[in-house]
Amino acid sequence: MTGGPAEHARRTADLVDLVQRMARGDADAFADLYDETSASVYGIALSVVRSPRLAETLTQEVYADAWRTAARYDPGEVTVLAWLISTAHRHIVERVRTMSRESAPDRFSGLNGNHRFDRANPAGGSRADAEQARRAWCLLSPTHREAVTLAYFGGYSQTEVARMLGQPLGTVRASIRDGMVALRAATGVGL
Amino acid sequence: MSDVHAAAASYAVDALSSAERAEFEAHLDGCASCHVEVHEFAETLAELAPLVASAPPVGLRNSVLTAVADLRQADLQQADRQQADQQRAARLAERAGRAGAQGSDDVPPRRALASVTELRPLEPHEVAPLEEHPSVVPEMPWLGVTAALSEDLGRRSRWRERVLGALVAASLILAVALGGWVYVSRQQIQTLTADAQRQTGLLTAWDARVYYVEVNVDRSTSPVSFVVSTARNEALFVGRDLPPLPANSIYQLWTVDGTASTSAGVVNGSGEVRQMLTGSLREVDKLVISIEPGPMESKTPTGPQFPVSIS
């Protein structure tokens, strides 16, 4: 895996092909999609729910949903990875918000320490992709990184984030927005 | 910029309450700029996925594939191949329904196997190498969790290869009926080889069947299997801990048409052996494993033979 824009584009096109074959009932394409993307989906589930067992369950639900809805994927709108990861995150967050401290204890236990927002975990994917993500991440100001981390990787609502950080809701919302705008620029999306 | 536009980022990271989200979605329908922005943020977040990517337990793959075999898609596109593909999905679903209906005390001499539906997920102890490794569970140092991220990249890379190997092993499936038992191999394969892909294709072929026979040498016995797909014109030999042979002797595989035997390769390796048979299965009515004097392969079977009839 060398990474680079050409490799990135080829991989993006390959994923579209897989989803279109899935839409026609091709189980092999589905298996390939799983192999290509499961580390990302599982990783996000794990970062939000913080329990491997629960993350597995959610990942399975996400892929079952992807199989059912493959025909609705529109390559003209977003890439497969964005489609899959945004639906996955939505699903994971919706599930976890209905859970109690009893049913998802790990989710709450991780937040008691002092928050450090200075490092990202470059595991999985190609090294080039990981390196790019890490670079983009490191460009964020600590305030923005904190808000985006809690909201996205932690799965907390902006209201919860505001409470956790002791900041007004409007401030947190602006941090999330400014953080996302900065990340969009740093990752080269929309250019 | 009004408040409602400003919510696009919070919407993209799923940080809105359900009431806030409903309000934003009502706005989103008619706002092209928010529409674009939401998509761009989704792409941005997809680019960030490597920050937390983590290989799932190998057993999850089988669980996921098995689960969807039982599903019909919510809607199918009008494609020429639709009908054939639907039939294929239906067959998978049917097999999913049959899974678990097998008894171990009434094992037919041969039976269909090798659909993903007959595999069981790996138990936790079988994937221990994955769970033991610290980097599998993201450390989330930014959330204040212990940061054990000082591992050098080289170590990560090696681990990545191992994880890949584990995934490949799972993809090989290796659920083989040996004397009526389904077992799942844990052998780690380091790279996704063409051979591994062939094996996966064979094991998941719709018409794959397993035939087994016991190999006896002196008082030592070992059940072996042949997984056969007539549609793919391929067969896989699977053995485990074959009885030891005298010096130089070898196990050799054969395809047999009537009285004509064609060598299908020498069995290589010890422990768990999985090996594609060479040659065609057309007109073949028996598969044989025999014991040959070695060390070179024999032209025709000369030693003890252990045949299975295939149909």
The 10s digit of each residue's pLDDT in B28-51 is: 989 999 999 999 999 999 999 998
Q: How far is CA A17 from CA A41, A77, A163, B39, B143, in A?
A: 19, 15, 44, 20, 37
ipTM > 0.85, yes or no: yes
* Phi, psi (rounded to 5 degrees) for A57: -60, -45
Please name the amino acid found at residue B22: A
Handedness of CA A142, A145, A151, A157 (dihedral sign): positive
Q: What angle do CA B237, B239, B243 make, to 5 degrees?
A: 130
Question: Looking at CA atoms only, how far is residue A178 from chain B in angstroms?
Answer: 8
Residue of chain B nearest A161, judged by CA positions: B15
pLDDT of residue B206: 72
| Tokens matching residue A146 | 């904190």
pLDDT tens track for B185-231: 333 333 335 666 777 777 777 777 888 788 888 888 888 888 888 88
Q: Is the CB of A9 inside 8 Å of chain B's CB atoms? A: no
pLDDT along chain A (191 residues), means of 10: 71 92 90 95 92 92 91 92 96 84 54 36 60 87 91 92 92 96 91 72
Spell out which residues of chain B touch residue A94, defining contact as CB-CB under 8 Å: 14
- In the block, residue with structure tokens 């204040």: B144
| Tokens matching residue A55 | 């993350």
Q: What is the pTM of this model?
A: 0.53
pLDDT mean across residues, chain B: 68
What is the CB-side half-sphere exposure of residue B117 using CA atoms within 13 A? 25
Q: Which of B1, B5, B40, B51 to mutate: most A Cβ within 10 Å? A: B51
Question: Around Cβ B283, how many Cβ atoms within 10 Å?
Answer: 10
Question: Looking at CA atoms only, how far is residue A186 from chain B in angstroms?
Answer: 9
Question: Looking at CA atoms only, how far is residue A60 from chain B in angstroms?
Answer: 5
Alpha carbon distance B38, B35 (integer Å):
5
